[in-house]
C-alpha cells in the first residue's frame, strides 16, 4: 500500500460531529478562513472536517471537538484545488518515465484536477489508479490520441478511430490541425453517434465559425478566433496565418469579436486561453533572460530547457516577427479573452504544461496572472480553475468548491489569494481526495526532483 495512504489511515478516529450520527474523520482543518469561489465571500474561523476523501462538515470553529489529525488553519485561507484544463501527462513516446514527478509538480502547486490533452492508453490506467487513490495524483480526465490530418485522412478512418477511442474509454477526442472539412464533419457526426465529445484546435480548413457550430466542448489557445476576424474581402490564404493567426493581426477587424463570442455562447463552447504560452513562448523577451530569472526551470531536465530556448529563438528571430506586431497581436487576444469571459460561454484555466517555458504546476500561476492581465479580477481568474471546470464536467458539488459533500481537494494558503493571485504560490499544504501534503513534504519532494533534473 502507498506509504502516504498508510499514514492517512493511521490518523483516522471515530467521533460525532453531527447531532444524530457518528462520522469517521481523517482530518480537521481548524479555525481556517474558507473562501467561497462563487461570490468571493470568506467564512471566517471555520473547522473543516474531512472523512473518506470528502468534506463531511464545515462548522464554526470550536463548536465540535474531535479526536483526529488536526491541521492548524489559524490565520490561513482555504480554497478548492485548481483544475489545469490543458495539461499533458507523460506517455511512452516521451522517452523518459517521469510520470510520478510530473503529477507531483501539478499537486505541489494546488492543481488537484488535470485534463490531459494528448491521450495514450497508459493514461486510462493512470486515471483509474488516481480515482482509487492507488497513486498520488490529481484527478485525471484524458483525451484520445491526436485526431489530425496525418492520423485521420479519410471519412472511413474518422468513423473507425472515433468509434475505437470511444470504446477504449477516453473522455473526449483531441482535435489537432490538418483535418479537411469533410473528414472533420465525419469526426463530428461519428462522435455524436457514439457519444463522445471533442476539444482542442480548429483546423484551418474548418474555420472558427463552422467549428463553433459543430459543438466543440472547448476550443483551446483561442485558436481560430483571430483568423475569424479577417474580413472576407482580403481574400487571404488561411494557411498563411502563422502562429495562431499572428500573420493576420494587421488585417483583423475587432468589430467582429461580438459575433464570434455570441456563437460561443449560443453553442455553449468553453474557451481555454493558455495565454501564458503566448506571454512566455511567443514574446520578445530573450529566452535566456526568462531562464535566468525563473526558478521553476530547476525542476525540468536541462536538455528540455535548452530545447525550449531554441524553440523560442526560432520564433522571435523569424523575419515575420516584430515587437510592434506582437503588441497588436496581444491586444487583439486580450480583447477576445475579455469578451469571451464577459459575453461568451466562459473560460477555463489551462497553461499547456509542459509546453515551451511552462513547467507543470508552476505554470498555472503564470496563467492566472496572464488572464488577470486581460481584465479579469483575481476572483474571476480563480473561478476559471475551480467552479467553471466543475460546471464543464457537470460535476458541480463534487469538486471545485469548499462545501460539504465535495471531494476534499483543497489548498491551504498563508494569505488571501483574492487580494493577490501570487498568494497562491507555495501553499502551506495541499489536499487531494483527502490525502494531505504538508509544506515540508512538498519541499522535500521538490528538492529531490530538482536534484534529479541536474543529471538529465
Q: What is the pLDDT of residue 131?
A: 96
Please compute Rg for the chain using Cα positions.
22
Element (H, E) at 293: helix 287-293
| b/e per residue 88-125 (b: at least 16 CB within 10 A) | bbbbeeeeeebbebbbbbbbbbbbbbbbbbbbbeebbe
pLDDT in tens, 169-194: 999 999 999 999 999 999 999 999 99
Please say whether the dihedral angle defined by the alpha carbons of residues 331, 88, 166 and 164, taken in this order, is positive or negative. positive
Which one, of 305, 321, 171, lies nearest residue 246 by Cα? 321
Do residue 63 and residue 158 come from a single domain?
no
Q: What is the pLDDT of residue 454?
A: 87
Do residue 137 and residue 238 come from a single domain?
yes
Q: What is the pLDDT of residue 203?
A: 98
Which residues form the domain of 353? 82-392
Do residue 74 and residue 87 come from a single domain?
no
Q: In 3-state terms, what secondary structure has residue 46?
A: strand
pLDDT in tens, 288-328: 988 988 999 999 999 999 999 999 999 999 999 999 999 99
Are the beta carbons of 367 and 351 closer than 8 angstroms? yes
Do residue 382 and residue 409 come from a single domain?
no
* CA distances in angstroms from 287 to 30, 134, 243, 274, 290, listed in the order given: 44, 39, 18, 19, 5
Q: How far apart are CA 202 and CA 179, in angstroms?
A: 9
**Where is the domain boundary, 392, 410, 425?**
392
Task: State how many domains the chain has.
Answer: 2
Do residue 379 and residue 432 come from a single domain?
no
Q: What is the pLDDT of residue 324?
A: 96
Which one, of 410, 393, 394, lies nearest residue 402 by Cα? 410
CATH number, domain of 417, equals 2.30.40.10
Do residue 276 and residue 167 come from a single domain?
yes
Do residue 327 and residue 343 come from a single domain?
yes
Instruction: Return the C-alpha cell found at 407.
Output: 471531494
Do residue 168 and residue 186 come from a single domain?
yes
Do residue 104 and residue 214 come from a single domain?
yes
pLDDT in tens, 40-78: 999 999 999 999 999 999 999 986 666 679 999 999 999
Do residue 30 and residue 90 come from a single domain?
no
Q: What is the pLDDT of residue 66?
A: 64
Do residue 158 and residue 27 come from a single domain?
no
Peptide bond into 103 cis (omega under 30): no
Low-confidence stretches of the chain (pLDDT < 50) are 1-23
Q: What is the pLDDT of residue 115?
A: 98
Q: What is the pLDDT of residue 161?
A: 98
Do residue 358 and residue 222 come from a single domain?
yes
Phi-psi region of 245 (alpha: psi -120 to 50; beta: other; left: phi over 0): left
CATH number, domain of 141, equals 3.20.20.140
DSSP label at residue 399: B
Amino acid at each position: 500500500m502507498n506509504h502516504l495512504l498508510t499514514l492517512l489511515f493511521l490518523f483516522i478516529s471515530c467521533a460525532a460531529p453531527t447531532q444524530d450520527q457518528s462520522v469517521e474523520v481523517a482530518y480537521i482543518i481548524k479555525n481556517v478562513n474558507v473562501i467561497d469561489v462563487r461570490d468571493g465571500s470568506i467564512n471566517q474561523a471555520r473547522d473543516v472536517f474531512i472523512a473518506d476523501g470528502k468534506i463531511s462538515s464545515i462548522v464554526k470553529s470550536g463548536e465540535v471537538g474531535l479526536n483526529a489529525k488536526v491541521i492548524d488553519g489559524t490565520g490561513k485561507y482555504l480554497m478548492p484545488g485548481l483544475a489545469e484544463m490543458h495539461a499533458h501527462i507523460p506517455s511512452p513516446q516521451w522517452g523518459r518515465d517521469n510520470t510520478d514527478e510530473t503529477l507531483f509538480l501539478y499537486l505541489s502547486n494546488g492543481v488537484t484536477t488535470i485534463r490531459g490533452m494528448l491521450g495514450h492508453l497508459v493514461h486510462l490506467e493512470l486515471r483509474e489508479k488516481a480515482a482509487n487513490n492507488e497513486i498520488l495524483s490529481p484527478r485525471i480526465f484524458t483525451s484520445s490520441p491526436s485526431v489530425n490530418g496525418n492520423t485521420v485522412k479519410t471519412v472511413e478512418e474518422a468513423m473507425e478511430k472515433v468509434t475505437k477511442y470511444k470504446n477504449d474509454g477516453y473522455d473526449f477526442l483531441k482535435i489537432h490541425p490538418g483535418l479537411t472539412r469533410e473528414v472533420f464533419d465525419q469526426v463530428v457526426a461519428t462522435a455524436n453517434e457514439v457519444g463522445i465529445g471533442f476539444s482542442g484546435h480548429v483546423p484551418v480548413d474548418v474555420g472558427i465559425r463552422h467549428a463553433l457550430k459543430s459543438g466543440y466542448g472547448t476550443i483551446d489557445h483561442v485558436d481560430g478566433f483571430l483568423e475569424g476576424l479577417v474580413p472576407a474581402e482580403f481574400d487571404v490564404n488561411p494557411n498563411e496565418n502563422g502562429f495562431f493567426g499572428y500573420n493576420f493581426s494587421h488585417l483583423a477587424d475587432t468589430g467582429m469579436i461580438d459575433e464570434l463570442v455570441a456563437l460561443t455562447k449560443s453553442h455553449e463552447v468553453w474557451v481555454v486561453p493558455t495565454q501564458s504560452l503566448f506571454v512566455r513562448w511567443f514574446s520578445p523577451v530573450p529566452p535566456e533572460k526568462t531562464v535566468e530569472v525563473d526558478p521553476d526551470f530547476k525542476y525540468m531536465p536541462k536538455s528540455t530547457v535548452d530545447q525550449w530556448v531554441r524553440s523560442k529563438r526560432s520564433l522571435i528571430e523569424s523575419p515575420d516577427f516584430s515587437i510592434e506586431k506582437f503588441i497588436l497581436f496581444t491586444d487583439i487576444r486580450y480583447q477576445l479573452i475579455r469578451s469571451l469571459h464577459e459575453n461568451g460561454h466562459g473560460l477555463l484555466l489551462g497553461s499547456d504544461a509542459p509546453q515551451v517555458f511552462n513547467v507543470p504546476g508552476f505554470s498555472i500561476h503564470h496563467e492566472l496572472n496572464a488572464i488577470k492581465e486581460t481584465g479579469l479580477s483575481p476572483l474571476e481568474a480563480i473561478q476559471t480553475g475551480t467552479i467553471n471546470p466543475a460546471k464543464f464536467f457537470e460535476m458541480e458539488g463534487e469538486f471545485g468548491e469548499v462545501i460539504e459533500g465535495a471531494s476534499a481537494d483543497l489548498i491551504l494558503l498563508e494569505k488571501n489569494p483574492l487580494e493577490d493571485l501570487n498568494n497562491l504560490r507555495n501553499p502551506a499544504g495541499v489536499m487531494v481526495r483527502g490525502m494531505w501534503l504538508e509544506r515540508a513534504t512538498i519541499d522535500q519532494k521538490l528538492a529531490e526532483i530538482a536534484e534529479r533534473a541536474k543529471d538529465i
